C-alpha cells in the first residue's frame, strides 16, 4: 500500500512539473527607448508610460525604460534584452553614434527583436540602414496624415499569431500615410486614408537578418493607446519580435 501511494505521488509530481516549469518561464526582457519628441506634437512621456503599462500588465514582459538613445552605444548593455521597443522621435538629438547604429543593427541581425511605433520611424533620418530596419519610415515633408479622428482599421491577415482572432476595429488616432521604403513587408492591419487617397499599412512585420521586426503606427497619445485592439497588437507584436512566436 505504501509503495502504491509513493508511486501515485511520483506520477502526480511528474504530471505537475511541466505546468510548474511553464509558470516559472522567464519573462521577455524589453528595452523601451523613449525621449524628447517634436513639441508639442506628442506627449512622449504619457505614451511611453502607457506602452510600458500594456506590456508589463500582460505578465509576459519585464520592461526597462530608458530616456536616452545613447544606451545603444553599449553592446554589453543590450545583450540582456530580447527586444528593443523604440517609442520616441528625439528631435533634440536626431542622431546616434556610428557605434550605436552598428550595435542596433547587429542586435536585430543576430536574432533579437525590434519594435518601432508611431513617429519613432522618423528617427535617425541620416542613417540609410534604419529604413531597411523599420521597413517603412516617416519622412518629414513627404509622409503625413489627415486630422486625428476615428477611422476603420482592417485586419488583413488573421493567420498571423499577432492578429489571429483579432477583428477589424475602430481606431481613434492619426492615420499615418505615405511612409517611405521598399523593403518587403507583411501587412497585418491597414486603413484607407482620405489624406493620401490610398490604402496604408498600419501594422506589419519583416525579418532583418535573423531577427524579427514589428512596426505599428498607432500611439499618437495615451487615448489612442487605450484601444483594446492596440493592446493586443503591442503585446503580441512585441512577443513575436522577441521570440518569433506568440503563446
pLDDT of residue 5: 40
Termini Cα distance of the chain = 42
Give, for 219, the enclosing helix (H) or strand (E): none
> Quick one: which of 196, 198, 195, 173 has its CA closest to 187?
198
Q: What are the chain's domains?
A: 27-243 (3.40.50.880)
Give the span between the Cα atoms of 65 and 84, in whole angstroms. 10
- Residue with cell string 523593403: 183
Report in angstroms the alpha-carbon separations of 152 from 14, 113, 168, 169.
Answer: 49, 28, 7, 6
Q: How far is CA 126 from the centre of its chain?
A: 22
Distances (CA, A) of 60 to 10, 160, 213, 242, 245: 31, 19, 18, 11, 13
Give the C-alpha separation, 105 to 13, whole Å. Answer: 45
pLDDT for position 91: 63
Closest CA to 181 of 230, 229, 132: 132
The pLDDT score that the predictor gives to residue 92 is 61
Please, is 157 exposed, middle or buried when counting C-beta atoms within 10 Å of its C-beta (0-12, 13-18, 19+)?
middle
pTM of the model: 0.89
State how far the alpha carbon of 73 is from the alpha carbons of 37, 49, 58, 92, 100, in Å.
20, 24, 30, 18, 4
Residue 39: predicted pLDDT: 55
**pLDDT at res. 239:** 98
Helices (H), 74-169: 75-78, 98-109, 128-134
Distance (Å, whole) CA 11 – CA 1:
15
pLDDT tens for the chain, residues 1 to 247: 444 443 434 334 344 444 544 456 799 999 999 987 665 678 888 999 999 999 999 999 999 999 989 999 999 999 999 999 999 776 665 689 999 999 999 999 999 999 999 999 999 988 999 999 999 999 999 999 999 999 999 999 999 999 999 999 999 999 999 999 999 999 999 999 999 999 999 999 999 999 999 999 999 999 999 999 999 999 999 999 999 999 9
**Would you state the cell numbers that stand for residue 211, as one nine-digit string?**
531577427
Amino acid at each position: 500500500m505504501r509503495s502504491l501511494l509513493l508511486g501515485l505521488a511520483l506520477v502526480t509530481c511528474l504530471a505537475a512539473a511541466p505546468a510548474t516549469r511553464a509558470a516559472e518561464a522567464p519573462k521577455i526582457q524589453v528595452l523601451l527607448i523613449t525621449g524628447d519628441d517634436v513639441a508639442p506634437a506628442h506627449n512622449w512621456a504619457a505614451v511611453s508610460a502607457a506602452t510600458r503599462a500594456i506590456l508589463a500588465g500582460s505578465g509576459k514582459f519585464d520592461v526597462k525604460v530608458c530616456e536616452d538613445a545613447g544606451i545603444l552605444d553599449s553592446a554589453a548593455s543590450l545583450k540582456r534584452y530580447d527586444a528593443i521597443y523604440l517609442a520616441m522621435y528625439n528631435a533634440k538629438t536626431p542622431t546616434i553614434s556610428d557605434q550605436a547604429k552598428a550595435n542596433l543593427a547587429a542586435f536585430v541581425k543576430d536574432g533579437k527583436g525590434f519594435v518601432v511605433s508611431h513617429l519613432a520611424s522618423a528617427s535617425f533620418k541620416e542613417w540609410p540602414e534604419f529604413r531597411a530596419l523599420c521597413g517603412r519610415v516617416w519622412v518629414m515633408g513627404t509622409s503625413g496624415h489627415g486630422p486625428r479622428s476615428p477611422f476603420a482599421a482592417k485586419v488583413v491577415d488573421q493567420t498571423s499569431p499577432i492578429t489571429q482572432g483579432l477583428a477589424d476595429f475602430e481606431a481613434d488616432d492619426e492615420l499615418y500615410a505615405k511612409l517611405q521604403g521598399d523593403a518587403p513587408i507583411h501587412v497585418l492591419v491597414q486603413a484607407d486614408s482620405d489624406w493620401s487617397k490610398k490604402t496604408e499599412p498600419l501594422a506589419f512585420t519583416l525579418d532583418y537578418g535573423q531577427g524579427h521586426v514589428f512596426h505599428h503606427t498607432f500611439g499618437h497619445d495615451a487615448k489612442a493607446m487605450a484601444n483594446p485592439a492596440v493592446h493586443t497588437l503591442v503585446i503580441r507584436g512585441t512577443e513575436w519580435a522577441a521570440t518569433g512566436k506568440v503563446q
